[in-house]
Structure 1
Amino acid sequence: MLSILILTVSMVLMSIPTAFAANSSWVVIDADNGRILDGANPHDRLPIASLTKIWTALTFLESGTAQEQTIISSRAASAEGSSIYLEPGSKISTDELLHGLMMRSGNDAAMALAEHAGGSEEGFVQLMNEQADLYGLKDTHFTNPSGLHDEQHLSSAYDTAMMLYYGMKNKEFKKIASTEQYSRKGKQAGVWENKHRLITSDTDAVAGKTGFTKAAGRTLATYFEKNGKKVIVVTLNNGNDWNVHKSLSSKVFNEYSIVTIAKKGDYAVLPGITAHLKKPIKVLLNQEEKSRVSSVMRIPRSEAQSSFGEWIVSLDQEQVVTSEVELKRE
C-alpha cells in the first residue's frame, strides 16, 4: 500500500520540418532520460546497417569477458564488408578490436569480438538479442554482429537511439565511441581516425556511429552535448545525414532549456515526515512544455524512522524522471 502526495510543479513534441526519403525514419531523444523530443516514424522497423555495432560493443563490454589478446580466426579475417584488415592467426587486443569496430566499422573486428565473447557468431548474436530484450528494445532483432543485410535484422530509430543512450552510460563504451584518433601498435601500426566526421569536426558532437548498406541506405547515430544539454539523434536512410544531425541538434539546443524541477534538500511532505532529495531534479524542456509538468511523490507506508520513496516527474502523465528520496519520520 502506498500513500501518494501530489506536488504540482506542473511537461509536446517539437516539429522540425525535414525532408526524408520514403522508408526512412528519425528521432531526437533527451540523452539524460531517453524521452523522445521529436521524430518521424521513430518506431518503424528498418535495417540499421553498422549502427548494429553500437550494441555489439556494449554487449561485449557487459558480457564479463576479459579484455585481453585474442587470436583472429580465418572466418573473422575474411568477414564480408568494411574491414580493419585483420590477418588470420594474428593476436590482437580486444581493446584494439573495439576501437576498430566503433571508429572504422570493421566487420572483421565485429566477428572477432563475437567469437571471443560468445564462442561463435551465433552464440554472440544470441547474447545481443538477450541484451536487447533485457533493455526493452522491442523493435529490435539481430542476426549478425556487424549489420550486414538480412531480412530479419531490424531495429528502429528510437531503439537505436536507446542503444547509444545505454552505451554512453558505460564508461569504457563512452571512451571508445568518442575517440577521435587511435594509434595501432605492432605489425599493423598506424593511426585510425573516427569515420564519424562530426566527432572530429563539430565541437557539439561527442560520440556516435556511422552505417551504410544498399538496403539500409545511410544510417547515423550521434550524441551531442552543449551547455549541459545532451541529445541523441538517429537517422535511418537519409542521404544528407551530416547536415540533418547538425540541424536537429542545433534546434533542440536553441529551443530547449534545462529546468530545475526541484532543488536538492529537505521537503516537508506530510506531518512528521521530511523527504530528503540528494541531487536536484532537472529536465530539458521547451517553452510550451514548462506548464505541462507534474510531480508525484510516492511514500511507502512504514513505521521505520528512515525509508525511501520516489519523486516522479511526468509530462502529460507520462513519466520522464524518477529520483529517490530518503524519508525521515519524527
Structure 2
Amino acid sequence: MRKTSVIASLLLVLTLVAPTNIYASGSSWAVIDAETGRLLKGENEHYPLPIASLTKMWTAYTFLELQSESEETVISAEAATAEGSSIYLQPGQVMQTDDLLYGLMLRSGNDAAQALAEHAGGSVEGFVYLMNETAERHGLEQTYFTNPSGLHHERHVSSAYDTAKMLYFAMKNPEFRKIATTKNHSFEIDAGKNSWQNKHRLLLSEPSAIAGKTGFTKAAGRTLATYFEKDGKSVIVVTLNNGDDWKVHKYLSQQVFSHYQRYTVAKKGRYQIFPHMTATLDDSITLLVNKNERKSLSNVLQIPQTEQPQKKGYWTIYLETDPIKTVAVDIDTKK
C-alpha cells in the first residue's frame, strides 16, 4: 500500500509540471476570471497577434446581438466558395441561421461565417464594420477585424487578453452560451439529417471544460480559447501560437483552480453607513483571489448627493488601486 501511495503522489506532481513550450517565442497567453473579466495570469497578454478562427467567437456574438431569433437565409455563391475550413454549404441552399451558428462554432466553417455576415450586415464589409464597432464598445483595445472568419491579414489581430474578454462577454449571451457549450448538434436540411461534433477536444474529454473555440492558420499557428468551470470557480484560458495548447490549457486551469479561492468580500445585509443612513446589499460579493491578494482588498461605497430618502449607491471592491467589481446598493436615509 505504501508503494502504491508513493507512485500516486509522483503522478500528481508530474501532472502539474508546466508544459515545456508554455512560454514559447512569438506566443502569448492569458487566464481571466470568467465572472469579472479580471486578468489572473498571463505572458505577453496585451501583445497583438493573429488569432485565426478564434475570430468566430466575436462573429457569433456580434450576430446574436443583432438578431436574437433564427431566420432562413439563402447561401450565396461567394459564401459557398469561401476560402478555408468549410461545412460544405451549396449555392442557393436554404439554411436556418441557428444551424449556421452551430456550424461556425462547432466546425469552424468559413462559409458559415460569410453567410452569417452577409445575412446580418448586408455584406461582409458591413458586418466586419459592426464587429469592430462592437469590439470598440466593449473596450477591446488591441483588437481589429478585417473579416468574419479569421483568415490571415496583417491588420487582423487581437491580444490573448482581448480574446479571452471576447469569450467573457459572449458567454453572457444565453444563446451564445448554449451554442458554445454544445458537444454535438443535430439538424435537418433538404438532403436529410446531419450532425456536427465540436472540434474542441477538451469539451469531449475534460469535465471542467464547458465551452471554447479552436483556430489555426500558418501565420497564427495554433490558437485556442477554453472556458473552464470547477467547484464554483470559472476561468477562461486563451493561448495564441502554442503548439501544445491542449496540455497548456489543462495545466493553467488546474493551476488557477488550485491557487485561487472564491472569497466572500462582503456579506449580504444592511450596513449602517452613518447614524441616519444605511446601505442594503442584496447578495454577498465574492471574488476569485489568491491568499496574497486577500490582504490588498478594500471596499469603497459611492453615495449620490441627492436629498431623496431612497437612492442607489455603488459598492466597489478594489484590489490595491484597481477596481475589480462594482454592484448597486439601496441607500436609505432617515431624517
Query: TM-score, normalised to structure 1's length?
Result: 0.94
Residue of 53, 57, 74 corresponding to 2:56 = 53
Residue of 57, 69, 73 corresponding to 2:72 = 69
Counterpart for residue 3 of structure 2: none
TM-fit CA distance, 1:189: 2.4
Root mean square deviation, CA, Å: 1.3
Q: Is the 8 A contact 1:183 1:192 kept in 2?
A: yes
Counterpart for residue 250 of structure 2: 246
Number of residue pairs aligned between Structure 1 and Structure 2: 316
**2:128 equivalent to 1:125:** yes
Counterpart for residue 194 of structure 1: 198
Counterpart for residue 277 of structure 1: 281
Counterpart amino acid of residue 23 in structure 1: G
Q: Write the mapping of 1:198-209 to structure 2, written as runs, cut at 5 A.
A: 198-209=202-213
CA offset digits 1:149-181 (Å, max 9, x no partner): 000101000000000000000000000001000
User: Is the partner of 1:268 in helix, strand or coil?
Assistant: strand
Aligned-partner Cα distance in 2 for 1:327–1:17: 53
CA offset digits 1:100-153 (Å, max 9, x no partner): 000000000000000000011001000101001111111000000000000010
Counterpart for residue 155 of structure 1: 158
**2:24 equivalent to 1:21:** yes
Q: Write the mapping of 1:258-277 to structure 2, written as runs, cut at 5 A.
A: 258-277=262-281
Residue of 295, 320, 329 corresponding to 2:299 = 295
User: Is the partner of 2:219 in helix, strand or coil?
Assistant: coil
Aligned-partner Cα distance in 1 for 2:305–2:31: 39
CA offset digits 1:177-236 (Å, max 9, x no partner): 010000121215222110001111111001000000000000000000001101000000
User: Is the partner of 2:88 in helix, strand or coil?
Assistant: coil
Aligned-partner Cα distance in 2 for 1:27–1:251: 13
**2:124 equivalent to 1:103:** no
Identify unmatched segments of 5+ residues in structure 1. 1-14
Counterpart amino acid of residue 167 in structure 1: A
Counterpart amino acid of residue 268 in structure 2: K
Aligned-partner Cα distance in 2 for 1:64–1:97: 13
Select the structure with the greater relative contact order (CA < 8 A; seq sep ≥ 6).
1
Distance 1:316-1:116 versus aligned 2 partners, 3 A rule: same
Q: Identity over the aligned pairs, expressed in percent? A: 58
Query: TM-score, normalised to structure 2's length?
Result: 0.92
Counterpart for residue 231 of structure 1: 235
Larger deviation, residues 60-69 vs 91-100: 60-69
Counterpart amino acid of residue 302 in structure 1: T
Q: Is the 8 A contact 1:16 1:38 kept in 2?
A: no
Aligned-partner Cα distance in 1 for 2:223–2:19: 19
Counterpart for residue 213 of structure 1: 217
